[in-house]
Amino acid sequence: MTENERRKQEFENMAHRVTTELCRKCVDRVEDELKDRLEQLRQGELEPLSIDEKVDWEDGTPSYKRVQLSWGGPSDEFRLFKDGTIQYWFMDWYDGAHITMTGNDRQVVSDTWPM
């Protein structure tokens, strides 16, 4: 194989990997993304872009606290609800998925950003 053929093959392999990753749905990616975020949080390497409260439109009271970690496509955030529920959301251009957190993982987020 010539050097040019090797480079072409390497480029085609890389393009295939990138295309495959971009075509994955959020539901297929959310667990891996959460795992990475929790590792960053435990190591003290995770700084949110913003923390705000989302309002219930019917009565005007805050419905949950949003800890936004990234924005654009993809974006991700933790949602901390008044009842103690914590969800991790991963969203990417008209697609989104979430995991309701439990156990130690839930506690780490709750301790970092109390409701």
pLDDT tens digits along 73-112? 899 999 999 899 999 999 998 899 999 999 999 999 999 9
Mean pLDDT of the chain: 88
Name every residue whose Cβ is closer than 8 Å to that of residue 85 and which is 6 or more positions away in sequence: 100
Task: Report whether pLDDT(60) > 80.
Answer: no
* Domain range enclosing 32: 26-112
Task: Report whether pLDDT(63) > 80.
Answer: yes
- Phi, psi of 46, deg, nearest 5: -115, 115
Answer whether residue 13 is part of any domain.
no
pLDDT for res 9: 81
Answer whether residue 16 is part of any domain.
no
Answer whether residue 18 is part of any domain.
no
Q: What percent of the chain is predicted at pLDDT more than 90? A: 63
pLDDT for res 45: 95
DSSP bridge partners of 51:
67
Structural domains counted in the chain: 1
